[in-house]
Homo-oligomer: A and B are copies of this chain.
Amino acid sequence: MYKVLFLPHNKTVEVKDGENLIRAAMEAGVHINASCGGEGVCGKCRVRIEEGQIEGGLSEKLDEKDIKQGYRLACLSHVKSDLIIRIPVESQIDTSSLNLKTAPRQKARIEEVSFEDLKTDDGFDLPVKKILSEIPRPEASDNVPDIPRLFNDLKHNHNEDFLDIDLPVMREIPNVIREKNFVVTTTIAQAIGEHSKDLIINVQAGDTSDKNFALAVDIGTTTVHGHLIDLLTGETLGEHVDYNRQISFGEDVISRIMFGEKPEGLEKLQKAVVESINRIINRLIKKTKIAIKEISAITIAGNTTMIQLLLAINPAYIRRSPYVPAATHYPPFNAVDIGIKVDPHVIVLTYPGVSSYVGGDIVAGIIGSGLYKSEKVSLYMDIGTNAEIVIGNREWMVCAACSAGPAFEGGGIKFGMRAAKGAIEDFAINPLTLEPMNLTIGDVRPKGICGSGLITIVAELFEAGVIDNGGEFARDTGNKRIRQSDGIYEYVLAWADETQIGRNLTLTEPDIDNLIRAKGAIYSGCLTLLKEVGLTINDLDQIIIAGAFGSYMDVEKAMTIGLLPETDSGKISFIGNGSLVGAKMSALSNQIRKDVRDVLRRITNFELSETTSFMDNYVAALFLPHTDMGPFPKLKARLDRNRKNSSKETT
């Protein structure tokens, strides 16, 4: 066994001789960017060996200077002694930009959801509500026991009948009711099923009915978002984002599932995401100064795998044909039972999902975006490694998921990275000089390209004629930024000395190819799903874009590359984290929870892999913007004009 120390994290792990270094890092819970899954292809997992011996680790992705300085690819390195390993800045995960309040850069309308709509005269129809009781004291002539005494008051004075109660709450009651002279506040979790009973989850001494808070949480594969909500006003008192700590065990859903199949893998993944939630709660409590005991419930939305991992339910069968999850609905449960550090009474309500790949996050988005009650025929998209697509309105809904690959999250892109500090997120090209204008997150020197940046860069290069509709660079510009390196054409976005990483930051032809495949899959998914319901793109009344990636995406550029169908930008709106919006709505309204059930009864899930037209649509979409320029008239007009100008100049 050898000891491996990871810097700057200062975490040590013991591994056996020959262990893969990236697995050792996973074991230690140290994140190293590695988007290719450990095949040595992406070159992202550069680490520096500061002490000790490894075997392997060399790759064409490393230049001579790198190798001399001790850089190796972690995924190709095998431990042969005790080691000290330093993870360089570009291979690390950087949380500093997560909670930056920058305005999303999209150029379309943001859907603002008003929670006031959920209010009736009496307030919100809360899933977890508080009731104040003044109970008559027991006497010799009225010696009903303590607990039925409380139940009698709830029944006769508050119309709350058929209540369940668990042992831990029962235990508190004899002391609690006497603490403030038989005045108590009961917290009741309302059931939504016809055959289910409401549950008493807490009994507090005295009147605490003026304090009732909840958390709404969205568990994404990459990030976890939490909002602390005042259930009496609907106001969000604080919000916080953290990386999903599972990221150290795999970047995408499939690698998480695979890690979960290892011994103790499931347990580690479960603890990791709970750690993220606990950090968020801790931060929100500090920010808002709310007493943690006044939190009553946590509503959590996430994709099907994230929810199974949260609940420690092995998601192995999600990635195996016929791709069945354990369930799509889960009953409420106590937060402490899965390790969330709140008071024991706090219950967790999880958002139900549709299928293995259309999860509760999407259902929450359907609710959060208002799609489920709109007359408009809407296209709802959440774009990431997996893109989920919903089409429908208040009468019908269809949905599907398609695997876009990791390009939008920086995977398979030579200098791709997540939307973190130093990522190029906006870009413009001078069509004459082909000189770039790079804008980075945090306005620092660039160290990579995030998904939204990638779309804009490719769109700009395409419109400027630097790349053609097949994604190939113009071979004959004579411009020094367009060059061949190791036989691969690339565009130099920033020279080594302009970057944080000390290397030329480029966009390569394989990068463009990966982006085209990703956008092609999504566009094909939309077309296929539309065809299944007998519609075309022109029938869409609105397009709702959800997700962190979508929020930062320039929709005009997304239309230019054919990720989105070309449409009036007035038809496009952004919901941001639609999953979180839906979670908040559910946290405030039991009617919304019933609406969710109703949505699930009405929605039809399509498996695109089972749909023959999907592959045809996909192949046709593997061009910029598409083999068929018909649906892209505005772009066609611009390109024609550019070509004319360009030929004017050259002539």
Contact = CB atoms under 8 A, between A and B. Distances in A.
Max chain B C-beta neighbours (<10 A), residue from A165, A326, A607:
A326
A83 interface: no
Interface stretch (A6-14, A169-177, A435-443, A631-639): A169-177
A607 B140 contact: yes
A166 B331 contact: yes
A331 B168 CA distance: 11
Given A195-B197, A317-B174, A324 B138 contact: yes
Contacts of A197: 195-197
Nearest to A605: B143
Contacts of A145: 324-328
Interface of A is mostly: loop
Nearest to A333: B167
A322 to B, nearest CB: 5
A317 B139 contact: no
B140 A311 contact: no
A610 B197 CA distance: 38
A324 B195 contact: no
Given A138-B324, A166-B331, A170-B326, A146 B311 contact: no
Contact of A140 (B142, B174, B610): B610
Interface string A147-185: 111000000000000101111001101110010000000
A144 interface: yes
A312 interface: yes
A69 interface: no
Contacts of A144: 324
A115 interface: no
A316 interface: yes
A74 B101 CA distance: 72
A607 to B, nearest CB: 7
A337 B165 CA distance: 15
Interface residues on A, range: 35 or more
A259 to B, nearest CB: 17
A327 B148 contact: yes
A584 to B, nearest CB: 24
B331 A167 contact: yes
A338 B167 CA distance: 10
A330 interface: yes
A323 B143 CA distance: 7
A312 B174 CA distance: 12
A328 B147 CA distance: 9
A321 interface: yes
Contacts of A324: 138, 143-146, 149
Contact of A171 (B148, B175, B312, B607): B312
Given A162-B195, A174-B316, A196-B197, A167 B330 contact: yes
Contacts of A337: 167
Nearest to A323: B143
A327 to B, nearest CB: 4
A313 interface: yes
B140 A326 contact: no
A280 to B, nearest CB: 22
A524 interface: no
A46 B326 CA distance: 64
A327 B195 contact: no
Max chain B C-beta neighbours (<10 A), residue from A149, A170, A327:
A327
Contacts of A338: 167
Contact of A313 (B171, B313, B325): B171
A209 interface: no
Max chain B C-beta neighbours (<10 A), residue from A138, A167, A316:
A167
B167 A326 contact: no
A20 interface: no
A326 B195 contact: no
Interface string A345-356: 000000000011
A450 B330 CA distance: 57
A314 interface: yes
Max chain B C-beta neighbours (<10 A), residue from A170, A312, A333:
A170
A192 to B, nearest CB: 14
A145 B305 CA distance: 13
Contacts of A325: 145-146
Interface in A604-621: 607, 610
A332 B113 CA distance: 43
A70 to B, nearest CB: 44
A355 B142 CA distance: 12
A321 B148 contact: no
A137 to B, nearest CB: 9
A201 to B, nearest CB: 14
A170 B307 CA distance: 13
8 contacts: A143-B324, A143-B607, A146-B326, A147-B327, A164-B331, A167-B337, A167-B338, A173-B326
Given A138-B324, A146-B326, 6 more contacts: A143-B355, A143-B607, A149-B324, A166-B333, A170-B327, A196-B197
